[in-house]
Amino acid sequence: MPRSVIGIDIRKTSISAVHLVSGLKQTVVKNFTRITMVAGDEGGDPLADALKALTGKMDFGNAAAVVAIAANQVVFRNLKVPFDDPKKIRQVLPFELEPTLPMAVDSTVIDFETIRSMDGTLLTAAIEKSVLERHLKALEEAGIRPSMIVPSGYPLALRVIRSQGQEADQLVIDTEDRRLSVFVITAGCVATVRTPQTAMNTRERIDNCVNLVRQAMLGFSLRYNRTFSPEKILLTGSGLANKSFLRRIAGKLEHSPDHVDLLESLPEVKLNGSAGKWQAPLLDNALSLALLEAEGGRSLNFYQRRSTLMATLAEYRKNLVATCVLAALVCFLALGKVGLETARLKSQVARLDKNIADIFHESFPGTKRLVDPLHQMKVGLEKEKREIEGPTGGPAPLKMLDVLSMISSCIDPGMKVRLTRLVAGAESITIAGKTTGFKVVDTIKSRLEKLEGFEKVTITSATTDKRGNQVQFKLRIKPARIKGDAR
């Protein structure tokens, strides 16, 4: 679902607003306007009246609103702290700023950003609570509930960093309301902000303001012991309409300044043709506010309704990142352990399958195709069992115990006979043994032939041993065929 955002840039004498609709495929500037504040009847509030007029020109509906307060009403300072924990920084910030503020620290709202390129250095911003409350009251009377309140010009400087390059030294000068706001950019961060309080309504004051810009650059270089030489000086704001100002600032500074034009540098942002003629110097600040909210970017922020959740996430971001990395590492190790265990079990199963196949082929060498070794072995054993025990139809086949009993019944107690081997198969039974003479062998043969269950008995061998006192013999017995046997 497209997100609707309205950026409202409040200055001393005017309000600029841009209505942005941000979707998955494209971002469209749906509407924009600029309203001049006019002093009304005695007791009236020009800001509240201008905001009410704005709500009449723009459809706020479900749109999120992000508001900027003129930077010259904000006090910017740079501080250096020995730690980077946001929670600790917020605890010590009032004490560190108190000696440098022109107002009581208890009467201010303070926020900060860490300058990544300079270890332990912060860019802080403080605004009087009375100024913030006045703007909140006017917004409430107009029915506008802001998600953020930020210093004007700061989101535009952040957008310039993204558009013009992360590493280049740059200078962004906002010339709104005949005053300057100077944003010193280095190594992808807004490192310093200066807001000279002198109005640029005379030639001498313009020269004085430009000298203050030069002092800001020089002061930055001396304080941080690093040369600041901007590759670009970018101008924005209504002061661009003053040609004499442009000429004088170009003559005072070493580089010829360029103009900021966000729409030109952001091809993914389209302008609704029916909205009117776009004036970049007057509307870029409001557009940068809307983009900041639409993209969920970070900024100096005096109003935390944007959500305490976002502030908490920003404050504990490092801990959350560390926790996520640790959780990912634990998951990786767990998955690795599962993978190793799975590989081990697969190897064990493969080894067992090979052993089963080897045993099967050793037991049943005639089988070429092995599909289900267990089932095939059961079938093979049943087949061998049937072949050994004989057919199952008719009377029960002779069992080994019965064969031994029958043979024993044919041997008198006085006969010296020792049986050494008995092999019973489906087709024949082979008996091997030793006795005292050939006559005993004949007697056993004749008695076996008379037994029921034996069809024929044959003496396959009968020889005397080397000593000549015993006869070694082998008898082959053919079992009687069972009725119904089809073999």
Whether 385 has a pLDDT exceeding 50, the answer reads yes
Alpha helices in 36-142 (DSSP H): 46-57, 86-97, 129-141
Single residue among 289, 315, 341 that ends a domain in this structure: 315
Domain housing 465: 400-479
CATH number of the domain to which 194 belongs: 3.30.420.380
Do 416 and 364 sit in the same domain of this protein? no
Q: Rounded distance, CA 419 to CA 163, Å?
A: 106
Do 37 and 141 sit in the same domain of this protein? yes
Single residue among 353, 369, 389 that ends a domain in this structure: 389
Is the separation of the CB atoms in 184 and 168 below 8 Å? no
251 in any annotated domain: yes
289 in any annotated domain: yes
Phi, psi of 33 (to 5 degrees): -160, 165
Q: What is the sign of the dihedral through the CA atoms of 217, 218, 219 and 223?
A: positive
Residue 441 neighbours by CB distance under 10 Å: 21
485 in any annotated domain: no
Do 216 and 91 sit in the same domain of this protein? yes
213 in any annotated domain: yes
Residue entry with tokens 């810009």:
213
Beta pairing partners, 80: 121
345 in any annotated domain: yes
Do 422 and 367 sit in the same domain of this protein? no
Per-residue pLDDT at 487: 42
Do 83 and 158 sit in the same domain of this protein? yes
Do 285 and 209 sit in the same domain of this protein? yes
Residue 121 neighbours by CB distance under 10 Å: 18
pLDDT per residue as tens digits for the range 409-440: 888 888 888 888 888 776 788 889 888 888 88
CATH number of the domain to which 469 belongs: 3.30.1360.100
Which one has a higher pLDDT value, 62 or 157? Answer: 157
H/E segment holding residue 150: strand 146-151
Single residue among 272, 297, 315 that ends a domain in this structure: 315
15 in any annotated domain: yes
Do 375 and 268 sit in the same domain of this protein? no
486 in any annotated domain: no
Residue range 39-67: mean pLDDT, rounded: 85
H/E segment holding residue 466: none
Do 308 and 202 sit in the same domain of this protein? yes
Whether 155 has a pLDDT exceeding 70, the answer reads yes
Residue 146: pLDDT band with limits 50, 70, 90 = very high
53 in any annotated domain: yes
Do 23 and 122 sit in the same domain of this protein? yes
CA separation, residue 388 to residues 90, 149, 391, 449, 463 (Å): 94, 98, 9, 22, 30
Count structural domains, the chain.
3
Helices 46-57 and 129-141, axial angle in degrees (round to 10) = 40
DSSP code for 167? S
Do 300 and 409 sit in the same domain of this protein? no
Do 285 and 383 sit in the same domain of this protein? no
Q: Rounded distance, CA 151 to CA 9, Å?
A: 9
Do 376 and 473 sit in the same domain of this protein? no
pLDDT per residue as tens digits for the range 77-87: 999 888 888 88
H/E segment holding residue 249: helix 243-252
